[in-house]
Amino acid sequence: MNTNANESDAARAAFESLTAEQTSGDGIGELNLDVILDVPVTLSLEVGHARIPIRNLLQLNQGSVVELERAAGEPLDVFVNGTLIAQGEVVVVNDRFGVRLTDVVSPAERIKRLR
């Protein structure tokens, strides 16, 4: 097998474009997202955060309280795979915690943040 074969000897892989496609005659471009709709993502909520020295971290035990930078009543940050997509408030639904979205980042802004 010749490992020094030039690029013209290799076949190029062809991939379907994920760019905007024309819809049925209306002239509005729309992304074909069908290929990614079943991809699982991680949704996480951030109540707040704090920076503490390791000395204080090692002193934490059951019943310890860590003060966060966020005030009570402020909205939570909602992240998908580490990207902020919304803010919301905690709700209880059938004895489980949930989040009610109060402000959602626009799709254009979400795409810009991914780049």
Per-residue pLDDT averaged across 96-102, rounded? 94
Domain that holds residue 53: 40-114
pLDDT band at 107 (very low <50, low <70, confident <90, very high): confident
**Total domain count, the chain:** 1
Higher pLDDT, 106 or 7: 106
Looking at residue 112, what is its pLDDT?
A: 79
First to last CA, the chain: 40
Is residue 15 in a domain? no
Is residue 106 in a domain? yes
Is residue 12 in a domain? no
CB 76 within 8 A of CB 46: yes
In degrees, rounded to 5, the angle at the alpha carbon of residue 80 between the alpha carbons of residues 77 and 81 is: 120
Higher pLDDT, 6 or 114: 114
Looking at residue 26, what is its pLDDT?
A: 47
Per-residue pLDDT averaged across 38-44, rounded? 93
- CATH value at residue 59: 2.30.330.10
Other Cβ atoms closer than 10 A to 63: 5
Is residue 21 in a domain? no
Exposed, middle or buried, 75 (CB in 10 Å: 0-12/13-18/19+)?
middle
Is residue 35 in a domain? no
Exposed, middle or buried, 76 (CB in 10 Å: 0-12/13-18/19+)?
buried
